[in-house]
Structure formats: structure tokens, C-alpha cells
């Protein structure tokens, strides 16, 4: 396993106005490692992954202290936010393709970055769709609207859109919660492939999904990162009683 640290979070406190949503969160994610964030509703999982590509910048009441580094560089320092977001991509709970063709969805980010050459762009779109395990299903209808795809295909398209930016980290906020079991299985299988190239963090309410897809698991409770460890250890031999209660369904 690769042990080079990709993302490191130290003493992260996050406030929405007076409300503290994250409390002294610390963890580090290695290159090409998959982490799952689990915990009850409202415990801060989404807030925490949004910190990692500065999505919370858009919320005026949000204040952050602590440090977050990507390859050792402080992402809240002089790093350009657009550059950060191309290095740290995000896939949301509800598939959100743009109302344009399948091809244009994937080409959108690279075009915004100035890539105009048609041959290079086509190759990048094809490669991204292949990596997102969607190419075979869409290669004959790239000019068709992305909105004509099924929910599961739309989510893989959003993953392809993220891959086209050649990211280092992909954040996924409950990426399968709007999908049926077959589409969910496809995304889970895809995560297994994607981790060969990218570090991935997935927020999930499905404990079996966390156990299946991740190397590391973080259990959050009321803004606190209660437990962070190897997924097998967290699920079979948790250190904290609260983790054990949660994963065994005794919580609350």
C-alpha cells in the first residue's frame, strides 16, 4: 500500500455562526486510499468533506481554524481555489449533469481550462468515460442529452466529469443514496478501480458500503471525529464504545 500522505487535516474547528459543526478533527489520508465517513445525520460528515475543496467558502457564516494540506501545501493559504477544485473533485448525492450533451458534460471542465484541440478533447472524454465505466453504454450517443441517461448512468457521468479534470482526490457525498441496488453496485465496483489512481473519500449512511469499499473509516458524532482507523478494525474491533454502539445499531 502507498503510504505517501495526500491529504492531512489537523485540529480542524468549523463554525457556522455560533454553532460549532466540527471539533478538533484530525486525520490523514494516503495517496490512493479510500476513506468512508460514517455517522448519524447532522454529525458533520458533509461539512468535513466540503472543507477539503473549500466548498464552505460560499457560506458567509462559516469560519474555519486548523490546517488542511494537500501534498503538504496549505489549501487555505495562497492556493488558488479553482486549481484546488480541479485537484480535489466532488461528486454529489443527487446526480447533477448539466443540461447539455454527454460529450459536452465531460469536456466542460477541460474547455473552461482552455483546452480547445478537438482531437485531444475527444481522447480525454473517451478516456474519462472509460475510467467511469460508462463508455460502452454511451459511445454511440455522445451528442445526446445527458438528461436522457438513467440516474445511475448520470452519476457515472458526473464521476467522468470529475475525472476529466485529472484530479488527485475525489470526494463523494452519498453518491449512491439516490440509486437502485444495481447502479449502486456499479459505483462501488468503480470505486475499487478508481482507487488505483486517486484518493477517494465517500460519505455514506450504508455501513455495509463503508465496509465494502473503504480502506479507512471515520466515525463522526456531533462534530467530533470519534474514531479513525483501518476499516476492518473499526468494524470488527472498534476502540470507542460509541463507535461500537453505532455500528451495531444500538445507537440512540
Ligand X SMILES: Nc1ncnc2c1ncn2[C@@H]1O[C@H](COP(=O)(O)OP(=O)(O)OP(=O)(O)O)[C@@H](O)[C@H]1O
- In this complex, which beta carbon is closest to ligand X, that of residue 168 or of residue 240? 240
User: Rule CB under 6 A: is residue 154 a binding residue for ligand X?
Assistant: no
Q: Is 230 in contact with 63 (CB distance < 8 Å)?
A: no
- In this complex, which beta carbon is closest to ligand X, that of residue 13 or of residue 104? 13
Rg, the chain, Cα only: 18
User: Rule CB under 6 A: is residue 16 a binding residue for ligand X?
Assistant: yes
**Shortest approach of ligand X to residue 47 CB, angstroms?**
3
User: Rule CB under 6 A: is residue 45 a binding residue for ligand X?
Assistant: yes
- In this complex, which beta carbon is closest to ligand X, that of residue 24 or of residue 130? 24
CA 1 vs CA 4, 32, 42, 141, 209: distances in Å: 9, 8, 33, 39, 21
Interface segment toward ligand X; rule CB under 6 A; list 43-51, 121-129, 130-138, 206-214: 43-51
CA distance 202 to 211: 11
User: Rule CB under 6 A: is residue 247 a binding residue for ligand X?
Assistant: no
Interface with ligand X (CB under 6 A), residue from 9, 25, 44, 167: 44
| Site residue total, ligand X (CB under 6 A) | 12
**Shortest approach of ligand X to residue 151 CB, angstroms?**
19
| Order of all β-strands in the sheet with 73-74 | 73-74, 62-70, 5-16, 19-30, 224-230, 216-221, 34-38, 199-203, 169-173, 88-91
CA distance 79 to 59: 19
User: Rule CB under 6 A: is residue 175 a binding residue for ligand X?
Assistant: no
Q: Is 182 in contact with 152 (CB distance < 8 Å)?
A: yes
**Shortest approach of ligand X to residue 94 CB, angstroms?**
12
**Shortest approach of ligand X to residue 62 CB, angstroms?**
7
User: Rule CB under 6 A: is residue 42 a binding residue for ligand X?
Assistant: yes
Closest CA to 171 of 21, 54, 20, 43: 54
Interface segment toward ligand X; rule CB under 6 A; list 36-44, 125-133, 152-160, 242-250: 36-44
CA 171 vs CA 9, 47, 90, 93, 199: distances in Å: 15, 12, 5, 11, 9
Interface with ligand X (CB under 6 A), residue from 43, 134, 179, 221: 43
Please state whether 166 falls in left (phi above 0), alpha (psi between -120 and 50) or beta.
left
User: Rule CB under 6 A: is residue 251 a binding residue for ligand X?
Assistant: no
Closest CA to 37 of 174, 191, 204: 204
User: Rule CB under 6 A: is residue 151 a binding residue for ligand X?
Assistant: no
By CB under 6 A, name the binding residues for ligand X. Answer: 16, 19, 21, 39, 41-47, 59
Amino acid at each position: 500500500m502507498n503510504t505517501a500522505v495526500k491529504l492531512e487535516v489537523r485540529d480542524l474547528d468549523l463554525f457556522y455562526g455560533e454553532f460549532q459543526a466540527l471539533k478538533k478533527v484530525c486525520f490523514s489520508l494516503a495517496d490512493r486510499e479510500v476513506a468512508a465517513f460514517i455517522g448519524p445525520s447532522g454529525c458533520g460528515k458533509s461539512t468535513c468533506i466540503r472543507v477539503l475543496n473549500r466548498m464552505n467558502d460560499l457560506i458567509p457564516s462559516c469560519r474555519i481554524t486548523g490546517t488542511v494540506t494537500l501534498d503538504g501545501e496549505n489549501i487555505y493559504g495562497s492556493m488558488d481555489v479553482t486549481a484546488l477544485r480541479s485537484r480535489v473533485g466532488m461528486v454529489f448525492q443527487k446526480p447533477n449533469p448539466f443540461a447539455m450533451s454527454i460529450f459536452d458534460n465531460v469536456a466542460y471542465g477541460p474547455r473552461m481550462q482552455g483546452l480547445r484541440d478537438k482531437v485531444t478533447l475527444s481522447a480525454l472524454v473517451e478516456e474519462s468515460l472509460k475510467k467511469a465505466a460508462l463508455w460502452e453504454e454511451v459511445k454511440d450517443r455522445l451528442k445526446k442529452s445527458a438528461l436522457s441517461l438513467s440516474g445511475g448512468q448520470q452519476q457515472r457521468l458526473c464521476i467522468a466529469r470529475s475525472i476529466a479534470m485529472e484530479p488527485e482526490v475525489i470526494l463523494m457525498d452519498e453518491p449512491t443514496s439516490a440509486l437502485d441496488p444495481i447502479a449502486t453496485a456499479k459505483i462501488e465496483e468503480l470505486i475499487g478501480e478508481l482507487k488505483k489512481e486517486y484518493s477517494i473519500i465517500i460519505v455514506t449512511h450504508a455501513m455495509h458500503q463503508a465496509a465494502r469499499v473503504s480502506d479507512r473509516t471515520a466515525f463522526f458524532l456531533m462534530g467530533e471525529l470519534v474514531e479513525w482507523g483501518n476499516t476492518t478494525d473499526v468494524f470488527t474491533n472498534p476502540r470507542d464504545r460509541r463507535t461500537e454502539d453505532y455500528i451495531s445499531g444500538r445507537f440512540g
